[in-house]
């Protein structure tokens, strides 16, 4: 985690060429919707044999999450953000038979969680057309259900992950804007008693947000 944050803080400023703009000064509370296509799978490669000399292998699979986000501006540089997401943290399970490669079966296991990514965001110098930032935090994950797997009682009801990422924020019109974020998540605790499953995911978060300013709402603007 420390290495990730260090890399982000060292290399991202090299890409910044922005000027200060008054658009960002008044913002306090930001609300929006967010969705994220990603790759989800085990944090380490699994390739094991089982009875009959067959093998199974576990790999990452395509997944998706979506939900809501609220963000509060602490000052010109720092913001606190909270998301509530319905996330798939499953994986791909491949059985390979003992005789030929044709004895292969693929199962996409889906593990649904209600996730609460909670993070601190640091804004670099904001510009008229784009603002760059980095963020990091923790993710409490509440298990909902699985698809394709038995023994749901083997999953812990609550698990914990950490996250980190970079992002760009693009004003659209009035108080609306778009965020695009490459994002990474890694389990801190095991999610499953039997297999000691620790999911890892990497993807692209895309969000549409509204800058809520009560003074403008009251004035009818």
Percent of the chain with pLDDT over 70: 72
Greatest mean pLDDT range, 19-23, 31-35, 108-112: 31-35
User: For residue 214, what pLDDT is reported?
Assistant: 59
Phi, psi of 216 (to 5 degrees): -80, -35
- The pLDDT tens digits for 53-107 are 456 677 888 999 999 999 999 988 999 999 999 999 988 877 766 544 544 556 7
| 42, pLDDT greater than 90 | no
Per-domain residue ranges for the chain? 2-10+26-41+66-89+114-218
Domain 2-10+26-41+66-89+114-218 CATH (choose: 2.40.160.20, 1.10.150.120, 3.40.50.10860, 3.90.170.10): 2.40.160.20
User: For residue 27, what pLDDT is reported?
Assistant: 61
> What is the pLDDT confidence band of residue 207, given thresholds at 50, 70 and 90?
very high
């Amino acid at each position: 985690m420390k290495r990730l944050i260090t890399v982000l803080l060292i290399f991202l400023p090299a890409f910044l060429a922005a000027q200060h703009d008054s658009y960002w000064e008044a913002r306090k509370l930001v609300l929006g919707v967010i969705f994220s296509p990603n790759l989800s799978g085990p944090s380490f490669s699994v390739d094991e044999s089982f009875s009959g000399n067959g093998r199974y292998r576990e790999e990452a699979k395509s997944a998706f999450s979506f939900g809501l986000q609220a963000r509060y501006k602490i000052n010109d540089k720092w913001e606190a953000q909270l998301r509530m997401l319905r996330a798939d943290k499953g994986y791909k399970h491949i059985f390979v038979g003992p005789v030929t490669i044709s004895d292969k079966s693929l199962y996409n296991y889906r593990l649904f969680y209600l996730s609460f990514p909670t993070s601190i965001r640091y804004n670099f110098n904001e510009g008229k057309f784009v603002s760059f930032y980095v963020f990091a935090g923790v993710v409490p994950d509440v298990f909902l259900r699985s698809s394709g797997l038995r023994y749901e009682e083997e999953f812990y009801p609550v698990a914990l992950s950490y996250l980190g990422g970079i992002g760009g924020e693009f004003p659209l019109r009035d108080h609306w804007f778009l965020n695009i974020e490459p994002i990474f998540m890694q389990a801190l605790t095991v999610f499953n008693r039997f297999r000691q499953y620790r999911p890892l995911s990497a993807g692209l978060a895309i969000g549409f947000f509204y800058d809520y300013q009560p003074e403008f709402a009251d004035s009818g603007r």
